[in-house]
């Protein structure tokens, strides 16, 4: 166990009136107004340590080592905590809005550290450690997309920082290196794949991991590639080859295992189960500061919702930001507030500073572009499940009767279905309320139950919840997913040769819409009995299935209509079944369960006249290349 100097009373850390220089640098940290101060001004130590993982992923008979690039304060003999970002993207794709890569000098020593963490936090008494996941950049082994190799890559470095794993000064051979400069206290941070690794490492319960900050992160890899029995049309082996920069020749068996474990029919397999971190949330001892875009159609909000719910059951200390953006880092949609809040968060959990961050509002939700609402506890934890029923006359609180039907047309998608609610369509069934008499807030993860009768042996289903009415939102479906990069720059921390702290500023992009899809879900009716084994459907025989909608936090304003749309193949997301056909719905046995905050106003169905709201501008559809996670800037 590392010695933690911050166990002393916090008042002892407040060293005011110390001039910069050697005396200040010998102090563990200087705190003023609840924040650590940039007193470590000398050039930091930069080094690479290769840490043994205990695995031999590439099958060469030698234990794999992963490269951990370290930058830490110089001129102090006091141990420091660590901010760590473990990523597969440091050489293939880059990190942040400017797709920064790691750089090295002629001797191979690290120079350029992507993003602002080192520039800002090292002068304040932290080390920053950027880890190349196994099989990427300068690390040995093979990528396994969220499996044992990926997670062990990062966990091994946490163990090394705590004196439990061997480190060396070379990728093979070399001399041993210990992290005597480390307190052993680690905070993991990262967006997308990086934040996913933070989730996975936290789910191991590794000692020394004090906090994680997952941003737009995956909690179950099955739910990234599949949804309740249907496929999104891509497999993890493609991502592995990308981050390995084409695929390493000795990693073929690892790719074969990925392909074998991800069948196209969308069944849950042991490979997917291994990569689901939610069941192990009870092992998490780290605090969690989660950030997610409500418009994120890459790492969908279901990942945040199911992870958050599991952590809530464990009563893990946690904080949440929900933006209107897509797959965007908070540094690029709320920069100053993000740096300030992150600073206070790390100071508390890694330096032991009693700065009140845990007494501040636990949740912050963007209600309109750049308009944020804070609350002491995220209301998604307090919402009550409310069941609504599709009826022949619309959507209401009382069960319906009769039937509805649609024909699966794989050339259409959710925006085709939603665009003309006042017009009948053979490709979907639409059920709407009358205009709401008061606001309705839906916060959390809902579900849809259908009793469907297919006309063929295969049937895929899509469902969506739609807010019909005019609004101005962030343009999360646009090119920047809700932001625009400007030509001006702002600087966050110390500039160093080859590693500056300045980044292009951004601003919100907005769009006027007449409807917004606020939650989606997809399923294969053949998996109605089990997600592990699909069974051929008997044409003409009804089957009942419940499947999940994505997590949301959305206020449907008074005067707007709330609608449920059920269709077949949503071509923006899922692949079509082998034999698309007609699907009938038994309305008396079909419903949608929504997490409603507060009281639900009296709802009336739309009546015989369907909503007469036709969008003046249909939002741009998501990029057909939905696996944006492998692209630069992810």
Catalytic, 455? Answer no
Catalytic residue among 292, 327, 389, 528: 327
Alpha helices by DSSP H, listed for 103-217, are: 117-121, 148-161, 193-202
CB-based burial label for 224 (10 Å; 0-12, 13-18, 19+) = buried
Return the H-helix or E-strand segment holding 351: helix 335-351
Report which of 243, 209, 35 is spatially closest to residue 137, judged by C-alpha positions. Answer: 243
CA–chain centroid gap for 215, Å, is: 5
For residue 444, the SS3 value is: strand
CA–CA separation, 283 and 359 (whole Å): 24
CA–CA separation, 555 and 528 (whole Å): 31
Catalytic residue among 134, 182, 192, 237: 192
> For residues 585-607, b (16+ Cβ closer than 10 Å) or e, as one string?
bbbeebbbbbbbbeebeebbbbe
CA–CA separation, 218 and 229 (whole Å): 18
CA–CA separation, 414 and 430 (whole Å): 11
CA–CA separation, 474 and 323 (whole Å): 9
Report which of 439, 416, 322, 300 is spatially closest to residue 378, judged by C-alpha positions. Answer: 322
Report which of 421, 432, 436 is spatially closest to residue 607, judged by C-alpha positions. Answer: 432
For residue 327, the SS3 value is: coil
Tokens of 529: 């009995």
**Which residues sit opposite 130 in a β-bridge?**
69, 85
Report which of 465, 558, 470 is spatially closest to residue 510, judged by C-alpha positions. Answer: 470
Catalytic, 609? Answer no
Catalytic residue among 194, 296, 332, 413: 296
The residue ranges of DSSP E strands in 15-96, in sequence order, are 31-32, 35-36, 45-52, 65-72, 80-87
Return the percent helix, strand and coil in the chain, to nearest 5.
20, 30, 45
CB-based burial label for 617 (10 Å; 0-12, 13-18, 19+) = exposed
Write the secondary structure of 145-171 as one string of H (helix), E (strand) and C (coil).
CCCHHHHHHHHHHHHHHCCCCCEECCC
Tokens 């051929």 map to which residue? 536
Catalytic, 327? Answer yes
Radius of gyration of the chain (CA): 25
What 8-state DSSP symbol labels residue 75? S
List active site positions. Answer: 192, 296, 327
């Amino acid at each position: 166990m590392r010695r933690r100097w911050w166990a002393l009373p916090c008042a002892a850390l407040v060293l005011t009136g110390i001039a910069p220089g050697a005396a200040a640098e010998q102090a563990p940290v200087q705190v003023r107004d609840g924040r650590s101060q940039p007193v470590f001004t000398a050039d930091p130590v930069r080094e690479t340590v290769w840490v043994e993982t205990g695995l031999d992923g590439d099958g060469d008979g030698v234990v794999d080592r992963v490269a951990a690039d370290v930058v830490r304060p110089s001129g102090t003999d006091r141990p420091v905590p660590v901010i760590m970002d473990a990523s597969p993207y440091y050489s293939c794709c880059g990190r942040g809005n400017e797709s920064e890569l790691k750089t090295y000098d002629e001797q191979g020593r690290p120079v350029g550290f992507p993003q602002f963490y080192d520039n800002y936090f090292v002068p304040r008494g932290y080390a920053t450690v950027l880890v190349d996941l196994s099989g990427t950049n300068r690390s040995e082994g093979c990528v396994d997309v969220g499996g044992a190799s990926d997670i062990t890559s990062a966990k091994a470095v946490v163990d090394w920082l705590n004196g439990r794993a061997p480190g060396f000064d070379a990728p093979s051979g070399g001399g041993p290196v210990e992290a005597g400069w480390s307190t052993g206290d680690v905070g993991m941070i990262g967006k997308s794949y990086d934040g996913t690794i933070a989730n996975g490492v936290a789910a191991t319960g590794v000692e020394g991991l004090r906090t994680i900050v997952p941003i737009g992160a995956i909690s179950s890899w099955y739910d990234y590639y599949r949804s309740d029995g249907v496929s999104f049309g891509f497999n993890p082996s493609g991502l592995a080859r990308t981050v390995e920069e084409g695929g390493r020749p000795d990693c073929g068996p690892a790719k074969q295992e990925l392909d074998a474990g991800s069948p196209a029919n969308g069944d849950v397999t042991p490979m997917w189960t291994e990569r689901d971190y939610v069941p192990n949330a009870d092992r998490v001892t780290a605090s969690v500061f989660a950030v997610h875009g409500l418009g994120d159609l890459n790492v969908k909000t279901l990942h945040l919702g199911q992870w958050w719910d599991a952590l809530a059951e464990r009563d893990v200390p946690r904080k949440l930001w929900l933006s209107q953006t897509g797959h965007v880092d908070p540094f690029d949609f709320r920069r100053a507030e993000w740096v300030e809040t992150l600073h206070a968060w790390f100071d508390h959990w890694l330096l032991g500073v009693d700065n009140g961050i845990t007494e501040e509002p636990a949740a912050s939700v963007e209600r309109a572009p750049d308009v944020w609402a804070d609350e002491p506890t995220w209301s998604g934890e307090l919402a009550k499940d409310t069941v609504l029923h599709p009826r022949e006359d619309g959507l209401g609180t009382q069960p319906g009767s009769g039937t509805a039907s649609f024909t699966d047309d794989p050339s259409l998608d959710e925006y085709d279905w939603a665009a003309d609610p006042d017009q009948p369509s053979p490709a979907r069934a639409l059920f709407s309320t009358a205009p709401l008499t008061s606001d309705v807030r839906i916060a959390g993860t809902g579900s849809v139950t259908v009793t469907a009768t297919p006309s063929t042996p295969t049937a895929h289903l899509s469902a969506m919840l739609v807010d019909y009415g005019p609004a101005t939102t962030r343009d999360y479906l646009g090119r920047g997913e809700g932001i625009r990069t400007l030509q001006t720059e702002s600087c966050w921390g110390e500039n160093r040769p080859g590693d500056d702290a300045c980044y292009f500023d951004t601003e919100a992009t907005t769009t006027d819409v007449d409807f917004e899809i606020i939650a989606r879900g997809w399923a294969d009716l053949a998996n109605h009995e089990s997600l592990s084994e699909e069974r051929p459907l008997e044409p003409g025989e009804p089957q009942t299935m419940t499947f999940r909608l994505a997590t949301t936090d959305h206020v449907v304003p008074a005067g707007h209509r709330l609608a449920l749309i059920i269709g077949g193949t949503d071509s923006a997301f899922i692949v079509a079944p082998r034999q698309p056909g007609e699907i009938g719905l038994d309305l008396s046995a079909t419903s949608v369960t929504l997490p409603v905050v507060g009281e639900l106003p009296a709802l009336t169905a739309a009546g015989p006249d369907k909503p007469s709201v036709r969008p003046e501008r249909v939002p741009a559809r998501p990029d057909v290349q939905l696996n944006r996670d492998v692209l630069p800037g992810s």
